[in-house]
Copies of this chain bind each other. A is one copy, B any other.
Amino acid sequence: MTTSTPLLLADLTGVAVFAASGASAAVVKRLDLFGVAFVGFVAALGGGIFRDLVIDEAPPLAFADWRYAATAAVTAAAVFWLHPQLARLRTTVLVLDAAGLGLFTVTGTLKALDAQVPPVGACLIGMLTAIGGGLARDLLTGEIPVVLRREIYAVAALAGSIAVAALDASGHAGAAGLTAAAVFVFALRLVALRRRWSAPVATLRPPRTGTRGTHA
């Protein structure tokens, strides 16, 4: 609750960009105003609610501080009325999502460390904070979760959260270091998208008998 102002600003910026990503995805799916607001709300606040449940901050900030819900609602409504042309929306979702990924990785990992979670757990919580909203957005709108696609996504968040934990352990978790970590996640995600980087896929020997499941 005693969140510092820069951390609050980073958190609310993450809420806004994830709300915009969720709302854009919902507009693409032709949901109505409230469906757009709901998907925006879940994408923006779902990861943080999970984080706060896990570190036992009750009620979660999304409910304790009205500025979180208000930021998500205003952003989603703005996307609903002002959204650019459809073809541009898909790119917008991806870029906003990458920005939210970087911001929530940093704030999520920091909050978990502040709550005395050990480093390995704090990195996992930071990653899950960052990917949780997008995961919920994709489950709600019936898309294959972005985290399961063959792209660098969760791993960018995990690398960023390890960087934050290392900065924290070495006493360098100042504004400059944390901003660098957020930008690193954002840039890594965008470069991976643009160059279509992906992680390796398991090789499967051809099955002896015809079976379902061989198609990708």
Contacts and interface: CB of A to CB of B under 8 A. Distances in A.
Interface in A21-72: 26-36, 38-39, 49, 53-56, 58-60, 62-66, 69-70
A27 B204 contact: yes
Contacts of A183: none
User: Lowest 6 A-B CB distances belong to which pairs?
Assistant: A63-B121, A56-B58, A66-B120, A32-B199, A87-B207, A33-B199
Interface stretch (A6-14, A97-105, A145-153, A170-178): A145-153
B33 A121 contact: no
Interface string A176-216: 00000000000000000000001111101111110101101
Given A140-B145, A216-B30, A86 B211 contact: yes
A169 interface: no
Given A121-B64, A124-B63, A204-B27, A213 B55 contact: no
Interface of A: 26-36, 38-39, 49, 53-56, 58-60, 62-66, 69-70, 80-81, 83, 85-87, 90, 112, 115, 117-118, 120-122, 124-125, 139-142, 144-145, 147-150, 152-155, 198-202, 204-209, 211, 213-214, 216
